[in-house]
Amino acid sequence: MEWGAYTAVLFDLDGVLTPTAEVHMKAWSEMFNGYLAGLPGQEPYGDADYFAYVDGKPRYDGVRDFLASRGILLPEGAPDDDPGLETVCGLGNRKNATFTHIVARDGVTPYAGSVALVEQLAADGHRLAVVSSSRNARPVLEAAGLAGHFPVVVDGVLAKAEGLAGKPAPDTFLRAAQLLGAPPAQAVVVEDAISGVAAGAAGGFGLVIGVDRGVGAEALRIAGAHLVVSDLAEVAAR
């Protein structure tokens, strides 16, 4: 792995730097299955639904896409909807409340291989950013002890404020590269979600690394990953 060919590295957060993807999966499962339990004839929500419709997307897009897969149409609602409301935004907010509770209760331990790579890249002078659809990215980075390595964080909050399209559109990655002053061709995207890998490929980035945390190496390659690893220790900077 020739890291010297690149000036910037753009990391997804959940599932790449921290195992919070597992917390997200649990929160989505609890929320959707609680909702579906009140609807006759609906099969339970499972991991396959997460990877197909939710993984890597902005929260409300994930709600909308999963419901569409089941033929369920709900009012859109508004971002300040109460989590008890049966709207797209209400269900998304219900999931977020569950996630926040789990993080506060259990904390966040980052992947050791990811921490080692981040520390090595930072020491070598690479410019680093986190690009996440989550609105909780900054609190999670703080909880994991990684915030100091990332001067740029393009998260769900910034994306909404600037009107940036979420993954699989490349907009958030392109914005992070711009904020770091790095041309896309000189930047690396590191992602574990199909939608995130597709975003990196669509943005014309110099290298897209897929981290297989369960979605499958072949699916990541089809989405556009140039390289697939199971742990970032495999592409250590030294």
Residues 83-120 as b or e (16 or more Cβ within 10 Å = b)? eebebbbbbbbbbbebbeebbeeeebebbebbbbbbee
pLDDT digits (tens, 9 = 90+) for 97-152: 988 888 878 878 999 999 999 999 999 999 999 999 888 899 899 889 999 999 99
> At 188, is the secondary structure helix, strand, or coil?
strand
pLDDT digits (tens, 9 = 90+) for 27-67: 999 999 999 999 999 999 999 999 999 987 889 999 999 99
How many angstroms separate the CA atoms of 116 and 100, rounded? 26
pLDDT value, residue 236? 85
Q: Is 212 annotated in the active site?
A: no
Region for residue 15 given its phi and psi (left: phi exceeds 0; alpha: psi -120 to 50; beta: otherwise): left
Choosing from 14, 49, 155, 171, the catalytic residue is: 14
pLDDT value, residue 237? 59
DSSP 227: E
Q: Is 61 annotated in the active site?
A: no
pLDDT digits (tens, 9 = 90+) for 76-99: 999 999 999 999 999 999 999 988
How many angstroms separate the CA atoms of 124 and 49, rounded? 40
pLDDT digits (tens, 9 = 90+) for 178-218: 999 999 999 999 999 999 999 999 999 999 999 999 899 99
Choosing from 12, 49, 155, 171, the catalytic residue is: 12
